[in-house]
Structure 1
Amino acid sequence: MKKEKWLFIGKDPRIKKSAILIDTHEREIMHIESGEWTLELEDLCRNMQPNCIVFPIQPLDAVKDIDYTCIPKETVMFFGRVAGPWKSVSELFTSYFYLQDEQFIWQNAKLTAEGWVAAFYKLNQQSISGKTFHITGFGRVAKMLANILKSMGAKVFIFVRSEANACEAKAYGYDAAILTPQRFAKEPISWLLNTIPAPWFTEDYLKLSTKEMILYDLASAPGCLREVDLKDRYELMPGIPGEYFADDAAVLLSDTINQLYNLEKE
């Protein structure tokens, strides 16, 4: 029986561990630790002729124009996010987006929230109980963050961009308000956790923030800053699950890929 050929690409530790977990007697697995699409990868695809390619959550940098002809037309691709040229490439193949799988999204959000707590302890060596944390956005990651912080005795304030989200946050029992510079200025913010995947933090917000404020950006790169330099008061923290819980994150990713692939084969 001819083995399936799987190619995993990415520097995130969960990618390497997922490649190990997904290995079976029917599969030939290769992992390339790279954050870029290179000529070497194109040569590898021509020689390997992979049946499946698994990409990391963040799109690979394209150091050259992508020559998709090096990849067999029948190849099944698994993406996290797609942007730039990768969006066009994904449309040429049978592509699945594990970051759109509801189970993956919620479990990944849970790992992100727990991982941020670990990062907070490591970076600050302070207790969470009794402190006030301001969170921007109220999506899945924000909900998990708010829940875990509240359960640990912290006070949580939610900034959102719509009245509907503000009402939802209040229904969960949190103080909440629409995110505007004027409303932002009324809050004495020490710990700001951003989950909004857009560059909203402008010079106006910088002028209104306290000197003690530290911004932890959990949104995907490039984060929330817009032509602003917070220097040592800013931490861009994408990929927390892979950094703090590589084994658990790999199990989640490999299980999701297997489920999506089994749907493809049915």
Structure 2
Amino acid sequence: MERGLLVSLVILVCSSRGVSLTIITQDPGSVTGTEEGEVTVPCSVTGGPAGQVRWYRDTGSGRQYLYSAAPPPNERNDPRVSVVHQNHATDLSIRIVNLILSDSGMYYCEKYGGIDVTLIARGSGSRLSVQALPPLIITQDPDSVTGTEEGEVTVRCTLSTVGPPGPVRWYRDTGSGRQYLYSPSPPPPNERNDPRVSQVHQHHATDFSIRIVNLTLSDSGMYYCEKYGGFVETLIARGSGTRLSVRGEEAPCSSNLFLVSVFLLVKLALLAAINAFLFVLLKLEQRRLKRVDAE
């Protein structure tokens, strides 16, 4: 009896004070993100009793739980989702990172309350559209370079976009002769960077050209610039390759031989002219002596 009166009193008090309505505001416009990027889906909640706010994607048979400060039984938060403003009383907007194409859909912000966690209000929803990334293209230009033994050379590599998180690596040749060379990121397991190789532009987002010093004849071959991504580091794109040709130390060039030949010819011609001049002088002297004897 006393318990029933207490419940009645609580109801009367609530009625006399009035019950505040819960209002959930979601931007009616669409939100656009890019594959592998991040996006914010806004939601503000005002009024109503204390309780949890939960996020769901889509409705009906495709309805999927997404995020809450306290997940419901047998559910877990998507690890890519977090609240934008921690412990905020009214702003329950979420941030989604590492977007994938299947994230596209309607996102609903919902308020629950009471001991039995009853749905109190639901936002009108925000439509998220995830756009695909353009294909990542690796350009290696020129397609061939030449170096000299003990010298250095630059092998170029440019990415069309930054692409998803993941390393860029250099390899020489393919098949059974394939050999790991260099990466500005940590090398793959059981590999190490060639100490003669370095990135031309340190910490550049898209230029991964390399410089190789102290060249040897065995460095000749095809060099491939490759982009990897994802948790398992899957190959995303590979350049068409650059052929490096390393020559031995250069012999005297043909132009130097030509100059030496011209010098020798000029010297021989000069000696011949001197000999001819001396011969003429000798003849003239002999004639003069004959005239003297004849007199």
Which bracket does the TM-score occupy, shorter chain normalised?
Answer: under 0.3
In terms of fraction of residues, the more strand-rich structure is 2
Structure whose alpha-carbon radius of gyration is higher: 2
TM norm structure 1: 0.23
